[in-house]
Amino acid sequence: MSFKLFIASTFGLIKSTAKIESAHEALLADYRMFCEFEKSNEQKEYHELEVLVNSATFKQQKKEIQHLVLKGSKEDAQLAELKKLERNSKLQKFYSTLKSDELKRFEKISNSELKAKYKELKALVDKHSLEALKKKDKNSEEYALYAEFHKINESDDIKFFKNFRKSPAYNNYELMIDSPERKRFEELQKITASEEFKARVAYLGDKQKWEKTEEATKEKRFAELMKTPQLINYLKYKYSAAFDFFKKWNLVFEDRFENGKLDVQKWQTQSHWASKVLGQNFSQIGDLHAFTDGKNVSVDGKTLKIEVRKEKAKGMQWRIPFGFIEQEFDYTSGVVSTAGVEWWKHGILEAKVKYKPSQNLVDAIYLLGEESSPQVNLVEMGVKNRLGLLSKSADGIQAECESIAGLKTGEFYIFRLEWSAHSLVWTINGREMLNLTHNIPAFKMHLNAASIVVGEPVSNLPHRFEIDWVRFYQHH
C-alpha cells in the first residue's frame, strides 16, 4: 500500500470525487456565464450606468431634487404673502368697494352732465353768498341762479355723490387704489395664476419627482441589472483568481461518453502501430488475449467500458524471429486510442476512472509517442496499482512510479497528469502523488486506454475497465 495514500486515507485528506466534480462543474458554469456576460450589451450597459450612478454629479443632482420641497421655497413664500394680503382688511374693503354698485353710480355721476352742471353752478355760487342770492328778487337772474343750483344740489344723485365721496369706504378706496399693497397683491395674483407657477408648485409638492426623471430611470435599470444572476456572477468573480485555471488552460480534447456509442471522430479501436503497420490489432509476447477491433469497447451513455471476456478468438501476435503470426487466444479485450486524431505536446491530462483492479489483468490509461517507450501512465491497475513513467533500457523496463494501492475498490477517482517541459506531476483527487523532473518527453504523444490479460487464473469475468470522462488541456 502507498504510504502517501495510507496517510491520506487515514486522515481523510483525499477529497471526495463527487465534491471535486461538483465544484468544477459549478465553477465552469460560472466561468461560461462570466465570459458570455463579459461580451454582452448588458455588461457594456452596466459599466456605463455604474460610472453615471456613482458619479459625484449624479449623486448631487439626486440629492438636490429629493430635497426640493414646497415648504421654504420661493413659491411657498409667495403663496404665504398672497394669503396674508388676502386677509388685509383695507384691501378687502377696497375690492368690496371696487365691485360695488355705489362706486359704479358714483363714477357714472362723476362723468355725467349733471355733475358738470353742478360743478359749473357751484363755481358761480361760490362767488356770491348763497344766502344773499336767496334773498334776491325772485325774478332776478341772481335768484334764478340760486334756484337752479338749489334744485341740482338737492337732487338724489348729487346728494349721493357728496355723501359717498365723504364715506369711509371711498376714503379707503382712494387710499388703496395706488397703494404698494394693492400692486403687490395683484402682482402675486398674476404670478400664482400662471401655468408656470402652478407647474412649479405641483413639481415641488410631488413626492415622486425624482422617480419621474430620466436619471431615476437609469438608476432603476442599474438596480435591476445588479439583481440579475449574470451580473451577480460577474461581480463575484471580477477581481477573483478563481478562473485563473480556465484563463490559462484551453480544453482541447474532452469526451464524456454520453452519446451511447464511441465517438469515432475522437477515437480509434486500434493501437497506433497496429493501425500503421498491420491494419489490425495485435498482441505482444506474453499477452493472453486477442484485441478485437471495437467489439470489447462499449459506451452506454454514462461511461466507456473496455471489457475482458473469456472466449476463444484468433488474433495476431508479434513473435521473434517470425514476426506477426496468427494465434488462438482464450480471452478477448479492447483498446482505444487518439492516435488517428489527437497528439499533444505538454498539457494536462485528466480522467475519471473507477478503481477496480483485478488479478492477472492490467487496466491502463497512458500516453505514447511514435515509439513504445517512454510510456507515461496516468493510471495502471491490476497486477500493479501505480502511476508514473515506464522506459525501456538495456536492463529492461525502468519504472519511476508511485503505488496507488489503498484506494477504495469500486470508487471513481480523478487522476491527473500535468506535463510541462520540466516536469511530470501526478495527482489523485487533487492530492499530489508523484513529481518527476527528469526524462521528460519532449515530443508529441497520443492517448490510449486498454485492458491486458497477463496471467491466469482471471476471476470475475467479464471484467470491465470503466472511464467516466477524459480531458486534455493546453496553454492558451
Pairing type for strands 289-291 and 424-428 reads unpaired
Residues 6+ apart with CB under 8 A from 202: none
Nearest to 36 by CA among 188, 211, 230, 226: 230
Q: How many angstroms separate the CA atoms of 105 and 166, rounded?
A: 15
pLDDT at residue 136, rounded to an integer: 67
pLDDT at residue 149, rounded to an integer: 79
Tell me the pLDDT tens digit for each residue of 341-375: 999 999 999 999 999 999 999 999 999 999 989 99
Pairing type for strands 431-436 and 446-453 reads unpaired
pLDDT at residue 56, rounded to an integer: 97
Tell me the pLDDT tens digit for each residue of 157-182: 999 999 999 999 999 999 999 999 99
Q: How confident is the model at residue 69 (pLDDT cuts 50, 70, 90)?
A: very high
Q: Which three cell numbers stand for residue 43?
A: 455588461
Q: How confident is the model at residue 118 (pLDDT cuts 50, 70, 90)?
A: confident
Q: How confident is the model at residue 322 (pLDDT cuts 50, 70, 90)?
A: confident
Given a cut of 80, is residue 262 above it in pLDDT?
yes
Among 3.40.950.10, 2.60.120.200, 3.20.10.10, 3.40.50.300, what is the CATH number of 253-475? 2.60.120.200
Given a cut of 70, is residue 8 above it in pLDDT?
no
Tell me the pLDDT tens digit for each residue of 407-460: 999 999 999 999 999 999 999 999 999 999 999 999 999 999 999 999 999 988
Sheet bearing 386-393, strands edge to edge = 335-337, 446-453, 361-368, 375-382, 386-393, 396-403
Q: How far, in Å, are 275, 304, 337, 367, 444 from residue 342 at the CA level? A: 15, 18, 9, 11, 9
The average confidence (pLDDT) of the chain is: 93
Tell me the pLDDT tens digit for each residue of 194-241: 999 999 999 999 999 999 999 999 999 999 999 999 999 999 999 999
What's the whole-number mean pLDDT along residues 3-32? 83
Nearest to 117 by CA among 149, 161, 147, 154: 149
Q: How confident is the model at residue 148 (pLDDT cuts 50, 70, 90)?
A: confident
Q: How confident is the model at residue 395 (pLDDT cuts 50, 70, 90)?
A: confident
Q: How many angstroms separate the CA atoms of 282 and 317, rounded?
A: 5
The length of the chain is 476
Q: How confident is the model at residue 396 (pLDDT cuts 50, 70, 90)?
A: confident
What's the whole-number mean pLDDT along residues 315-331? 89
pLDDT at residue 139, rounded to an integer: 75
pLDDT at residue 4, rounded to an integer: 65
Q: Note whether 359 and 308 are within 8 A (CB).
A: no
Higher pLDDT, 457 or 127: 457
Q: Note whether 339 and 275 are within 8 A (CB).
A: yes
Q: How many angstroms separate the CA atoms of 343 and 59, rounded?
A: 59
Beta bridge partners of 344: 445
Q: How confident is the model at residue 150 (pLDDT cuts 50, 70, 90)?
A: confident
Q: How confident is the model at residue 100 (pLDDT cuts 50, 70, 90)?
A: very high
pLDDT at residue 81, rounded to an integer: 96
Given a cut of 70, is residue 10 above it in pLDDT?
no
Per-residue burial over 59-89, b = 16 or more CB atoms within 10 Å of its CB, e = otherwise: eeebeebeeeeeeeeebeebbeebeebeebe
pLDDT at residue 12, rounded to an integer: 65
Q: How confident is the model at residue 126 (pLDDT cuts 50, 70, 90)?
A: confident
Q: How confident is the model at residue 35 (pLDDT cuts 50, 70, 90)?
A: very high
pLDDT at residue 191, rounded to an integer: 97
Q: Where are the domains of the chain?
A: 74-205, 253-475
Secondary structure class of 437 (helix, strand, coil): coil
Given a cut of 80, is residue 2 above it in pLDDT?
no
Q: Which three cell numbers stand for residue 145?
A: 341762479
Q: How confident is the model at residue 64 (pLDDT cuts 50, 70, 90)?
A: very high
For the beta carbon of residue 379, count every other beta carbon within 10 angstroms: 25
